[in-house]
Structure 1
Amino acid sequence: MVDMPQHRPHHDIGSLFSGAKDFLRVCAPMVRYSKLEFRRLVRQNGVQLAFTPMMISESINNSEMARQKEFSSAVDDEPVIAQFAARDATEFVTSAQLIYPYVDGIDLNCGCPQSWAKKEGFGCELLNHPETVRDIVQCIRRTLPTDFSVSVKMRLLQYNDTATSVLKTIELAQQLEHCGVTFLTLHGRLPTQKNHRETLNVEAMADVRKSLQIPLIVNGCVDSLKDARELHEQTQAAGVMAARGLLANPALFNSDYALANSTPRACVQQWLDIAEAAGDHLKFSCFHHHLSFMWSDEMKRSLRIPFNSLGSKSEVLAFLDEHYDLRPSENAASSFAPYTNCTYNHFTPPRHARHIAAEARKSEWDENQDGKFFSEFKTQQLVDNNSEDLELGDFFGDDE
């Protein structure tokens, strides 16, 4: 076990579960979107544990540029779990040692079903190699302090019949518990299933929960606080995670807005203030996309389409000021803790982890591109002539 520095004291993630009134409210790791600024927003609205976006270990390990681009933090960014996609223990352990000073735990992605991830051996492809998943957890437990949170996010294992799928999922979950994970997150679908309510296997999640002594977070179809409460009641899980539901309404877990059907105006105001404080740390595309997702329900179609075509922060602010009387607060810039200068000279990645050029996957994470979800979101608005209402629909299922 190595002696690692800490930028701030680490949270005891296990105590978060035991201290939760009913269930822990969790913001999912979402590619492009669950960055520091969004984590700040959802924490102001009831989220008790937040994840970073999924980061690719190979890129983080090999490139200082990737580290600075993919991860940012501040002293108020807590508690936070860093999630990585890795193919083996060396990749994952290296990433964990790099990011250790700035986060409260590290999570292995075994749930991403996207074809590019499976082709590279990431995400749910690891579920076909449970021995690799066990080895990764065992290696990280031998490397970092035992009070540092280690977790795995997974789906139901793919088998021809439901009974076998549930049995094999339970077996792997129990093995990971014995290997020392702090908690597990289970998305209640097979890797091949799309994000529809009828495919969510709530009974299977309840069975997995009953089989474990460690906390289980459940994930899937949480689009409202009512959904979260119902999923908790059905599974008795220690935590409930939301993904696309929080994109559509970052105040989803805020009990003050339990009956809201869309993002409260006050939440949009908070986002403008966070963005004002962030300055150049927050890329325009991220700022703009979040507003599109959370505020489209309040826009008539005649405004949605021009709004989604705006190209600068100043244009967006002028638009919101003109049409909705919304603007950043006067003291917004000084309302949040400054960004941490994250440095990584406490640990030098081993030579064998640096021989692959991290820039090879730059196109996967280019934040100057819209990404397929936002592109599809805009396309729906162009073809949706039958209704003034708009829902996020199925766009974010692959990230849950």
Structure 2
Amino acid sequence: MTLTDTCADNPAPVVAAKTKLLGRALFENMGKPTKIVAPMVDQSELAWRILSRRYGATLAYTPMFHAKNFATSEKYRKDMWCEQDGCSNVDRPLVVQFCANDPHYLLEAAKLVQDKCDAVDLNLGCPQGIAKKGRYGSFLMEDWETIHKLIKTLHDNLDVPVTAKIRVFPEREKTLEYAKMVLDAGAQFLTVHGRLREQKGQQTGLADWDIIQYLRQHLPEDTVFFANGNILYPEDISRCMNKIHCDGVMSAEGNLYNPGVFNTECTGDIDKTFPRVDKLLREYFEIVRSYKGSNASRIAMKSHFFKILRPFLPNHIDIRSNLASMNAKTSFDEWEEIVVGPVEQVVQEIYKQDDINAKDVITTGEVELWGGSYKQVPYWRCQPYFRPVDGVTGDKRVVRGLKRANELETSKEEETKKSKQAEVTNAAS
């Protein structure tokens, strides 16, 4: 029996309906997950979730599905969802995420997956142009009535709980009222991405942990609360939990470029926290090949290859050219011959170098103003990606921005001090 047969050949037995778990009871039933794969469009599909769990993730979300398309288009469902999704022995706990602005289509879509997941999540954070055009995700942030209706419809009519993921407003107080409304509508978990709707792409910047902490402090104590943003390395997860006192930490880009970011129990093991690109690529490739029924995994594979190999490809442009020529219809044998095999050969040659032990090390820099430290990682190992803008990478932009803000604050304090001294002098004279 192959891996892909396990769910299809052994369908879950029909059992009496269970009481729907809510809030803390749901969280505890899931095993109190603290390391969470974020919902990512066309990225957090079955094969990637399986891989991420092997590297420490304890809860995973599906990619964001379009509720109306999922409810009405069989082709869309087949591209996004398969028999193995939500399989109890490899893909749980699982939260299925939808974007929507119509309660009817949202409920119809959610009913199609409620038997294969632990909860259904409403996306209220997508900042992309397609979300603006379709009026969903973060572009519902001003329409609280619709959001409340969407969540309450699922809460009242679905067999599994509903959760929600939000972004923040510039104002803390408004964000708090927004979060309270989402919980009042029936959301059992609240995930807060500490960025504004405008913070995307080249304008991403740092997530605001202070506003996430503020929400955690002012929402009901028993709220199941996840934080999202600024996770580059495994130690950032504990740093986030210690500051915010959240129940779990969600990672999107950090996980995409290095699944080892979730291996918090193995921070001393370089192969588990910063895996070699050849070994991770092989492991992921074999998962995709094993789950042939997952169209979503096959479609996403090329994109994942580029992310896994991002630091490696600039040094081996021949492999980059070969990878660029591949597509979802390319046979697995061709993938093996043209990409996977050559990557393995190159990295194996690197490890034959006499000085490899001196080269194959992780160097940690000084603590930065944002609270963490950047690391220097060999290009043949998975690592975070810092998106360049005008030739300056994201890590350097963050440091420069924080230094400017710090200098401005210091300047203001000095001006205030001088002003007070002048007032004292004038009063004395």
Q: TM-score, normalised by structure 1?
A: 0.72
1:36 to 46, 51, 58: 46
CA contact (8 A) 1:29 1:52 kept: yes
1:152 has 2:159 as partner:
no
Q: In 1, Cα distance between the equivalents of 2:43 and 2:181?
A: 32
User: What is the alpha-carbon root mean square deviation over aligned residues?
Assistant: 3.2
1:271 to 284, 290, 293: 284
CA contact (8 A) 1:248 1:263 kept: no
Higher RCO (CA-CA < 8 Å; seq separation 6+): 1
Percent identity of equivalent pairs = 25
The size of the alignment, in residue pairs, is 325
The residue number in structure 2 matching 1:26 is 36
The residue number in structure 1 matching 2:70 is 60
The residue number in structure 2 matching 1:393 is 386
Q: Which letter does structure 2 place at the counterpart of 1:128?
A: E
Q: Which letter does structure 2 place at the counterpart of 1:166?
A: R
**Within 5 Å, which residues of 2 pair with 1:131-280?**
131-145=145-159, 148-157=160-169, 162=170, 165-194=171-200, 198-212=205-219, 213-255=222-264, 257-258=266-267, 260=270, 262-264=274-276, 266-279=279-292
Q: In 2, Cα distance between the equivalents of 1:23 and 1:70?
A: 25
2:63 aligned counterpart, secondary structure:
coil
Q: In 2, Cα distance between the equivalents of 1:232 and 1:394?
A: 25
Deviation at 1:392, TM superposition (A): 3.2
The residue number in structure 2 matching 1:118 is 132
Q: Write out per-residue CA displacement over residues 189-209 of structure 1, whole angstroms, 9 at most, x where no aligned residue.
A: 110123667542111000111
CA contact (8 A) 2:120 2:162 kept: yes
Deviation at 1:219, TM superposition (A): 0.6
Aligned in 2, Cα 1:14/1:66: closer, same or farther, shift over 3 Å? Answer: farther
Deviation at 1:250, TM superposition (A): 1.5
Q: Write out per-residue CA displacement over residues 206-244 of structure 1, whole angstroms, 9 at most, x where no aligned residue.
A: 011112231111111212212222221221111100001
CA contact (8 A) 2:96 2:117 kept: yes
Larger Rg: 2
CA contact (8 A) 1:288 1:316 kept: no
Deviation at 1:181, TM superposition (A): 1.4
Deviation at 1:128, TM superposition (A): 0.7
Deviation at 1:154, TM superposition (A): 0.6
- Structure 1: stretches of 5+ with no match in the other structure: 327-386
- Structure 2: stretches of 5+ with no match in the other structure: 1-11, 347-377, 389-393, 395-429
Aligned in 2, Cα 1:136/1:122: closer, same or farther, shift over 3 Å? Answer: same
CA contact (8 A) 2:282 2:340 kept: no
Q: In 1, Cα distance between the equivalents of 2:24 and 2:283?
A: 29
Q: TM-score, normalised by structure 2?
A: 0.68
Q: Which letter does structure 2 place at the counterpart of 1:169?
A: T
Aligned in 2, Cα 1:252/1:15: closer, same or farther, shift over 3 Å? Answer: farther
Q: In 2, Cα distance between the equivalents of 1:221 and 1:186?
A: 12
1:320 aligned counterpart, secondary structure:
helix
Q: Which letter does structure 2 place at the counterpart of 1:278?
A: Y
